[in-house]
Amino acid sequence: MFVRVKTTPKSPRKSVQIVASYRIGGKVKQRIVKHVGIAQDDKELEELKSLAYSIKVKLETENHLPLYTNEDLEKLAEKYQKTSEEKAKQRRLEKEKNSLHLNFNSSFSITNNNNITNTQNNINLDYAVNLLDIEEEDRIITGIHDIYGKLYDEIGFSHTISNPARNRKTSNTLKEIVLARIANPESKRASVSDLEENFGIKLDLNAVYRMMDKITDKSIEKLNELVYKNTKSLFRDKIDVIYFDATTLYFESFTEDEFKKNGYSKDNKFNQPQVVLALMVTKEGLPVGYKTFSGDTFDGHTLMPALNDVKQYYDLDKVVYVADAGMFNKTNLDELEKLKDDGITYIVGARIKNMTKQLKDKITNFDNYRPINDDLSIAVFDFQGNRLIVTYSKERAKKDRYEREKNIEKFINRLKKEKSLKGFLNNNGYKKYIEIENRKNCNTKITIDEEKIKEDEIWDGLKGIITNNTDIDEQEVINQYANLWQVEESFRITKHDLKIRPIYHWKERRIKAHIAISFMAYTLIRHLEHRVRLQYKKLSPEQIRKTLLSVQASILHDKKTNKRYVLPSNVPLDAEKIYKLMDVSLKTSVYRIM
């Protein structure tokens, strides 16, 4: 097998295909194993080729290359079906012409009880039913399990639990809970109920908790390894940029222990214990790995432990780590410098207001800047032997000014209503602009400090970035740092779409298991989103979820014969495309199950 790019005359469109060669007689011919997608530009072409190589490797390693294409199989099936049924169809019609029957596999018109005109002449006795005897026994969702279930198996999540063959039931329970979190993220108890009610799958809640207790630190290490390898395979085994950030996850509890502790909360839940989640993703938002820390861990102290894990367990070549200003501290920069000889460099947001006075004077002197475009100007300074790149954006300056004026307006309105000193000190939005006189007596006076406002105005529109990478130019550094929104988007998905918090578990192992389950669900969501974007069109994780939830089936019960049938629902075009690109057969006709 090989990846082929087929061009279209007088068009920028290029088709990416996986092709296999075969020999007939003395001639070598080729056939398309899979059409991967159509690229409109060079960037899309490279992405599709990388995806094609990943699919090709899976087909070869799994020995999954079909002898026939889907079209070939359909033609063969049609041929044999006609042959086998040709002799029997007249007998069937004679036997059934005196009663009213419904054939789910064919279209027909009914004239009366003694006259059935079948337009395909293809009635199957197994599917001959009386409409009056049919009742809908259940309706289940099939799309989530069909698509995300296959992706779950492809990534190898079934190997997360140790000894999966021996712990088959536990592994199956894990899979169901992960898919339930994608479909409808709720508590474990609610997930068990939802699986039975909407998916026709029965789980024991106690079995779910036992499964969580088997997700050990070794299982989490295996999970990170699987995710890293599968993400890396999508880029021809080369990840050159990794984005890093940390966030907090709070608990519906007020009791601390060694793991869940109070700390600086990004959810403004300062009186509730939390844990810190550090996440690494590619520039496409695909996960690389994660690590958890106790809730009182400072963001800036999460970077090096996570990076050292990656360096220890994964095969890295040259990688640029990108992180925001929260990771900017001397300890991190010194440690990152030690990794440079291993090909690991960094791009980190800089706290330019905390620089030395000499450097701050240079940063705020706009004679040092050169224009890049109508909005952006750039200056480059030396910072401890590395590049400090500072950009000035007119649009960002407008935004900074607007935010400050809005905060001052809030302060003025609040000053008219409230005289409590505590209320003003607790607000980070405007407390840096206020001046407090006579703080210790009854004549306390709160006013706006105009000098502080002027000092703040100088920094409007300025943003600093530090890098020790000498191979990429300033514009590329800026572009890579700007892509940090991918990790922020990833946290939005985990927190909102997957509702990873609040956390209702109390034991450390179950807390870690809950985060692992959520990370598995997040990985499936991101990988499918990536493939859908490349092979079909851009759909958000929520759009994909809703589309797959709409793929359902009715369980029909024949009260007279006690037979049961599955009648698939009508599916939207997006669902058809997703099934096709994932090579999952989409059933559209009724079939018997019992």
- Three-state SS annotation for 4-25: EEEECCCCCCEEEEEEEEEEEC
CA angle 485, 510, 219 (to 5 degrees): 75
Q: Which two tokens stand for residue 120?
A: 């395909």
What's the pLDDT at 246?
81
Sequence spans of domains, the chain = 2-61, 71-141+552-592, 344-483
pLDDT band at 102 (very low <50, low <70, confident <90, very high): very low
- d(CA 232, CA 227) in angstroms, rounded, equals 8
Q: Which of 247, 433, 242 is nearest to 345 (CA)?
A: 242
What's the pLDDT at 5?
92
Name every residue whose Cβ is closer than 8 Å to that of residue 415 and which is 6 or more positions away in sequence.
446
- d(CA 291, CA 246) in angstroms, rounded, equals 9
What single string gives the DSSP state of each residue in 257-321? -SSSB----TTS-TTS-EEEEEEEE-TTS-EEEEEEEETT--GGGSHHHHHHHHHHHS--SSEEE
pLDDT band at 523 (very low <50, low <70, confident <90, very high): very high
Q: Which of 231, 208, 236 is nearest to 279 (CA)?
A: 231
Q: Which of 327, 337, 345 is nearest to 241 (CA)?
A: 345
Residue 393, H or E segment: strand 386-393
| 529 pLDDT higher than 60 | yes
What's the pLDDT at 63?
54
pLDDT band at 64 (very low <50, low <70, confident <90, very high): very low
Q: Which of 248-262, 405-419, 457-471 has the lowest mean pLDDT?
A: 248-262
What's the pLDDT at 125?
62
| Of 268 and 245, the one with more pLDDT | 245
Q: Which of 148-162, 307-321, 379-393, 481-495 has the lowest mean pLDDT?
A: 307-321
What's the pLDDT at 476?
93
| Of 119 and 298, the one with more pLDDT | 298
CB 19 within 8 A of CB 10: no
Is-above-0.85 flag for pTM? Answer: no
pLDDT band at 410 (very low <50, low <70, confident <90, very high): confident
Name every residue whose Cβ is closer than 8 Å to that of residue 195 and which is 6 or more positions away in sequence.
176, 180, 201, 202, 203
Percent share of the chain, pLDDT over 70: 77
3-state secondary structure 442-489: CCCEEEECHHHHHHHHCCCCEEEEEECCCCCCHHHHHHHHHCCHHHHH
- 275-287: average pLDDT: 87
| 395 pLDDT higher than 70 | yes
What's the pLDDT at 62?
65
- 55-79: average pLDDT: 57
Coil/strand/helix, residue 217:
helix
What's the pLDDT at 120?
39
CB 536 within 8 A of CB 519: no
What's the pLDDT at 8?
79
What does the mean pLDDT of the chain come to? 81
What's the pLDDT at 488?
79
The strand pairing partners of 24, in sequence order, are 27
Radius of gyration of the chain, Cα coordinates, nearest whole angstrom: 31
What's the pLDDT at 42?
87
CB 302 within 8 A of CB 279: no
- Does the bond joining 572 to the residue before it have cis omega, within 30 degrees of 0? no
Coil/strand/helix, residue 116:
strand
pLDDT band at 418 (very low <50, low <70, confident <90, very high): low
Report for 16-30, 35-49, 83-97, 203-217: range of highest mean pLDDT: 203-217
| 227 pLDDT higher than 50 | yes
Q: Which of 498, 520, 539, 523 is nearest to 287 (CA)?
A: 523
What's the pLDDT at 444?
63
| 442 pLDDT higher than 80 | no
Report for 225-239, 287-301, 318-332: range of highest mean pLDDT: 225-239
Residue 537 CA neighbour count, 13 Å, CB half: 6
Per-residue b or e along 390-408, where b marks 16 or more CB atoms closer than 10 Å to that residue's CB: bbbbeebbeebeeebeebb
What's the pLDDT at 96?
45
pLDDT band at 572 (very low <50, low <70, confident <90, very high): very high
| Of 312 and 166, the one with more pLDDT | 166
| 428 pLDDT higher than 60 | no
CA angle 306, 312, 316 (to 5 degrees): 95
The strand pairing partners of 2, in sequence order, are 19
